[in-house]
């Protein structure tokens, strides 16, 4: 078993790399531990809460007890299935803000500024929102918008305008800041994961194949990656790479695999009896995520999805989807959004909103009986950082994941502001016909201490882990890969997925993870798309006001 390139992981970046390398005529083997993504729970967009809670599709990771959240242990879903986390995510499509990538470049990721990455976002997209020089129209990844038939979607955007905030037609185009429609990776009523967008077309060419098994380590000889050791049932074999090995196993499994292969903090590897091949203290460090809270109100009118949130209603939705790919089953229901700035002096948005016309938690469990609606809200750029570490040298054992959520006082300041700001938005006249009592946090909670108590118990991960093998200059001791995605200190080995993000981007991470795969493929092939000259919109009032 050998190929020109061996890719570990069939997720957002790995599938894109396989597609582009196969397109260039190379033989590619993709190692994926999970099974097929066929089935209604994955393919039906409205069923999104199911696959991320199913052991069949999810690695089942949990954080260690989080010291600043009262010792709570938070789930950390990662896709264990064809298409990786793109097959179990919420299907929300957000590129990130242009300034995010300019910051990457300033942090040492030369060649990853917004001008450099925009052509790859354009290449990956098939956007169905009309012609725009900012958007792609011929890429593998279909990007659409929900129908926004529920009046609450429009009330949310109107309330944002009434509160003095900007509106934006396309937050993935020139102007992210503002309230407007949300985008999703859904096409013809189905989840448009990278398995559908990239992997299946690549497999049809014949020079890309998927191998089932657990990657246990990268085989490194004389300082060069030669292949990947794979466990298949009771058997272990080595799959050889004639050219390179690419690790695209997620921001949790990629650093774990590097450490099992002898690449990581030397003292930590020695604790577990692992021979040190490259002492890279940045492996498993710099872990970041987005936290959010669900701000919920009762609805005065029966216009929410609660009317179908029962077994007969869901059966009808499922039948309509199965038979015709029509109806409520064809959307993730996140159809309005906002990106706003928290205070004067913040140059670009640092708060994200997802709006949902139902009061429900991400695991699909209803928090309240009756009609309600909610906004998911949270800060985008937390200063807190965590780690991924080995619990043992056993590849089958999950790593120790410590996010250190809410470690910084700034996190608490930002989240309190998110709660108070959301109260302002829902108090606008656009919501007057609908806004009932505040379900959570609850109107009785007003002081900083009261809000902190609620946050400690109720903030949840948005499931956007990243940063654990970050891009940087080769002389940066905390960098793991150089700007070409090559692992520093080992030949023939690259990492390309959300683990290489120097800093977390605005919004959901599927789109920038795919971009990383697209761009890494060009680095591997020795090609490059010319930089863009387009300039993003920055609020001219950013120094004076938050709106």
The pLDDT tens digits of the residues spanning 188-233 come to 999 999 999 999 999 999 999 999 999 999 999 999 999 999 999 9
pLDDT of amino acid 366 = 59
- Provide the domain count of the chain: 1
Residue 360's pLDDT band, with cuts at 50, 70 and 90, is confident
Residues 335-351 as b/e (b if ≥16 CB within 10 A, e otherwise) read bbbbbbbbeeebebbbb
Q: Mind listing the pLDDT tens digit for each residue in 301-310?
A: 999 999 998 8
| Sign, Cα dihedral of 156, 295, 385, 383 | positive
Instruction: Please choose, from the candidates 490, 518, 403, the residue with its C-alpha nearest in 3D space to the C-alpha of residue 117.
Output: 518
183 neighbors 92 (Cβ within 8 angstroms) = yes
In a domain, 11, yes or no: yes
Residue with tokens 């559908």: 196
Q: How far apart are CA 499 and CA 64, in angstroms?
A: 19
406 neighbors 69 (Cβ within 8 angstroms) = yes
Kindly report the pTM of this predicted structure: 0.98
Q: How far apart are CA 495 and CA 257, in angstroms?
A: 11
**By residue range, what is the domain housing residue 455?**
2-525
Average pLDDT estimate for 468-482: 98
Mapping DSSP to helix (H, G, I), strand (E, B) and coil, where does residue 421 land? helix
In a domain, 533, yes or no: no
| Biggest distance spanned by C-alpha atoms of the chain | 70
Residue 264's pLDDT band, with cuts at 50, 70 and 90, is very high
In a domain, 542, yes or no: no
Q: Mind listing the pLDDT tens digit for each residue in 129-188?
A: 999 999 999 999 999 999 999 999 999 999 999 999 999 999 999 999 999 999 999 999
In a domain, 544, yes or no: no
- Does the structure show a pLDDT above 90 at 542? yes
Residue 364's pLDDT band, with cuts at 50, 70 and 90, is low
In a domain, 530, yes or no: no
- Does the structure show a pLDDT above 60 at 546? yes
In a domain, 53, yes or no: yes
Angle value at C-alpha 330, between 431 and 250, nearest 5 degrees: 95
Q: Mind listing the pLDDT tens digit for each residue in 483-515?
A: 999 999 999 999 999 999 999 999 999 999 999
- The residues pairing with 143 across neighbouring beta strands, listed in sequence order, are 127
In a domain, 538, yes or no: no
Residue with tokens 């609908």: 434
Burial zone of 37 (CB within 10 Å; 0-12 exposed, 13-18 middle, 19+ buried): buried
**Does the active-site annotation cover 464?**
yes
In a domain, 505, yes or no: yes
C-alpha pair distances (Å), 427 with each of 134, 176, 349: 35, 24, 22
Binding residues for FAD: 81, 89-92
What the block records as the tokens of 363 is: 């695991």
Binding residues: 81, 89-92
Q: What are the helix and strand counts (H, E) for the chain?
A: 13, 25
Catalytic residue among 97, 290, 464, 523: 464
Angle value at C-alpha 157, between 504 and 438, nearest 5 degrees: 85
- Does the structure show a pLDDT above 90 at 361? no
pLDDT of amino acid 369 = 81
106 neighbors 515 (Cβ within 8 angstroms) = no
pLDDT of amino acid 368 = 72
| β-pair type (125-127, 141-145) | parallel
Question: For position 240, which CATH number holds?
Answer: 3.50.50.60
């Amino acid at each position: 078993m050998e190929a020109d390139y061996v890719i570990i992981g069939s997720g957002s970046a790995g599938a894109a790399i396989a597609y582009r390398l196969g397109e260039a005529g190379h033989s590619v083997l993709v190692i994926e531990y999970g099974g097929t993504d066929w089935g209604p729970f994955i393919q039906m967009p409205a069923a999104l809460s199911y696959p991320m809670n199913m052991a069949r599709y999810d690695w089942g990771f949990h954080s260690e007890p989080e010291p600043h959240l009262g010792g709570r242990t938070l789930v950390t879903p990662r896709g264990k299935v064809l298409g990786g986390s793109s097959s179990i995510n919420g299907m929300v499509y957000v590129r990130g803000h242009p300034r995010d990538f300019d910051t990457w470049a300033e942090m040492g990721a030369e060649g990853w500024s917004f001008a450099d990455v925009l052509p790859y976002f354009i290449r990956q997209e098939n956007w169905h929102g009309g012609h725009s020089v900012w958007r792609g129209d011929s890429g593998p990844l279909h990007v659409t918008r929900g129908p926004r038939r529920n009046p609450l979607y429009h009330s949310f955007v109107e309330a944002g305008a009434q509160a003095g905030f900007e509106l934006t037609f396309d937050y993935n185009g020139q102007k992210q800041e503002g309230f407007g429609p949300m985008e999703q990776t859904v096409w013809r009523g189905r989840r448009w994961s990278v398995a559908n967008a990239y992997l299946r077309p690549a497999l049809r060419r014949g020079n890309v194949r998927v191998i089932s098994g657990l990657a246990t380590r990268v085989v490194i000889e004389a300082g060069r990656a030669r292949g990947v050791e794979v466990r298949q049932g009771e058997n272990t074999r080595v799959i050889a790479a004639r050219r390179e090995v690419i690790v695209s196993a997620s921001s949790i499994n990629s650093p774990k695999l590097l450490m099992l292969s002898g690449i990581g903090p030397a003292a930590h590897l020695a604790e577990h009896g692992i021979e040190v091949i490259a002492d890279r203290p940045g492996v498993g460090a710099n872990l970041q995520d987005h936290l959010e809270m669900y701000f919920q109100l009762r609805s005065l009118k029966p216009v929410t999805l609660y009317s179908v949130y029962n077994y007969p209603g869901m059966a009808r939705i499922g039948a309509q989807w199965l038979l015709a790919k029509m109806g409520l089953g064809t959307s993730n229901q996140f159809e309005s959004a906002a990106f706003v700035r928290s205070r004067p002096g913040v140059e670009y948005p640092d708060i994200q909103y997802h709006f949902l016309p139902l009061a429900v938690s991400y695991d699909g469990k209803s928090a309240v009986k009756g009609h309600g609606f909610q906004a998911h809200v949270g800060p985008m750029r937390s200063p807190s950082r965590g780690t991924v570490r080995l619990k043992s040298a056993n590849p089958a054992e999950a790593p120790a994941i410590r996010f250190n959520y809410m470690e910084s006082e700034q996190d608490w300041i930002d989240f309190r502001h998110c709660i108070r700001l959301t109260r302002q938005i829902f108090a606008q006249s656009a919501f007057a016909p609908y806004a009932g009592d505040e379900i959570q946090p609850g109107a009785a909670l007003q002081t900083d201490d009261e809000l902190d108590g609620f946050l400690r118990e109720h903030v949840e991960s948005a499931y956007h882990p990243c940063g654990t093998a970050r891009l940087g200059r080769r002389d940066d001791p905390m960098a793991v890969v150089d700007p070409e995605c090559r692992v520093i200190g080992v030949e023939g080995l690259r990492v390309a997925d959300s683990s290489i993000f120097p800093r977390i981007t605005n919004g959901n991470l599927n789109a920038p993870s795919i971009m990383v795969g697209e761009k890494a493929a060009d680095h591997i092939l020795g090609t490059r798309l010319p930089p863009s000259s387009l300039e993003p919109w920055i609020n001219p009032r950013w120094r004076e006001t938050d709106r």
